[in-house]
Amino acid sequence: MGFKAATAQFIVICAALLPAGVVYSQSKPVELVGFGDSLMAGYQLPPTESYTAQLEAALRKKGMNVAVANAGVSGDTTAGGLARADWSVPDGTDGVILELGANDALRGVSPDETEKNLDQIIAGFKKRNIPVLLIGIMAPPNMGGDFAARFNEIHPRLAKKYDLPLYPFFLDGVVLDQTLQLEDRMHPNAKGVGIMVERTLPVVENFVNAIGAQ
């Protein structure tokens, strides 16, 4: 057997041994879009320190060929997200990390309205065959117990309805630590974003591998 033929056979054998869903060595990156508000956009942070940028770096450090575009808009509500979902997330996107609802809660938007908007956003992505990883948000305590109880059920309920992977609370590990926040005590600093990336990374890895297995 010639050298070229032996090399080709070796490549075929190695490819056959790789488990389904592994995207580590493919030539075309898995293209994700982070779709959300200021928490996704990287409010007052350099672009390289945003959640999407740090997440992409973390995934690539793991050997995963993934590109994460930033479609976060500071101040965006679920209504705003619904209005721009079609043009903010282009056709052919491999997956969306959907994070919206924080500004709805801060503005006291009816949880029913928030859920309706998120439902329509998810349904739109589903219709376009774009997988969704849903990122949960929790209502601030000052909104009252009744509001929080209604709001905090939204993301888990939609994840169950559409059979979506869910990360329950985007600011987990950051919301109570002022050293991880900007001076406004609402948004994470670069270090805080790093904690968010670290904690969401296993869920995102599973999401990417599920996309690769389709």
Q: Measured between alpha carbons, how far is 177 from 189 in angstroms, rounded to an integer?
A: 11
Which residue in the list 38, 76, 94, 104 is annotated as catalytic? Answer: 38
146 as an active site residue: the answer is no
88 as an active site residue: the answer is no
Q: Measured between alpha carbons, how far is 142 from 79 in angstroms, rounded to an integer?
A: 22
Kindly list the domain boundaries of the chain, sorted by start residue.
3-213
DSSP category for residue 74: T
Which residue in the list 37, 94, 104, 187 is annotated as catalytic? Answer: 187
CA angle 36, 38, 207 (to 5 degrees): 35
Mean pLDDT, all residues of the chain: 90
What does pTM read for this prediction? Answer: 0.87
For 116-166, the pLDDT digits (tens) are: 999 999 999 999 999 999 999 999 989 999 999 999 999 999 999 999 999
In the chain, the percentage of residues whose pLDDT exceeds 90 is 85
Q: Are 186 and 170 in contact (CB under 8 A)?
A: no
Which residue in the list 91, 146, 163, 184 is annotated as catalytic? Answer: 184
187 as an active site residue: the answer is yes
* Dihedral angle of Cα 114, 116, 120, 123, to the nearest 10 degrees: 110
Is residue 204's pLDDT more than 90?
Answer: yes
The enclosing H or E element of 134 equals strand 132-135
* Residue 213: pLDDT band with limits 50, 70, 90: confident
**CATH, range 3-213:** 3.40.50.1110
Is residue 50's pLDDT more than 70?
Answer: yes
